[in-house]
């Protein structure tokens, strides 16, 4: 489950939990989302999460390892991975990530 919370400073942070609400991944407090900038969060049907944050030029794929029950973060602009079509199209249409390897 993805939980998005608004902080006191009006920024947003997200976490991923299991069914018992144990935190499996939490976004860094120094890279929160803001309503003043562009951000995109996408969950696929395999428990993977993809996000882009224009505030910090942060783009990550959080790929779920079912055996270890943990998320591995990969910068999808540095390392080529297959992004979900909807997420890839939205990023290509709404951002300036011309050097992003996974968007080519």
Question: At residue 73, does pLDDT exceed 90?
Answer: yes
- Residue 77: domain span: 2-103
Number of domains in the chain: 1
Question: At residue 44, does pLDDT exceed 90?
Answer: yes
Among the listed residues 12, 10, 31, 21, the one whose alpha carbon sits nearest the alpha carbon of residue 75: 31
pLDDT per residue as tens digits for the range 10-40: 999 999 999 999 999 999 888 899 888 899 9
């Amino acid at each position: 489950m993805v939980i998005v919370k608004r902080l006191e400073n009006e920024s947003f942070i997200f976490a991923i939990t299991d069914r018992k609400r144990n935190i499996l991944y939490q976004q860094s407090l120094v890279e929160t989302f803001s309503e003043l900038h562009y951000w995109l969060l996408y969950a696929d049907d395999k428990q993977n999460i993809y996000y882009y944050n224009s505030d910090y030029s942060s783009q990550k794929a959080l790929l779920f390892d079912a055996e270890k029950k943990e998320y591995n973060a990969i910068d999808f602009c540095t390392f080529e991975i297959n992004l979900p079509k909807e997420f890839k199209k939205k990023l290509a249409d709404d951002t300036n990530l011309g050097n992003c390897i996974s968007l080519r």
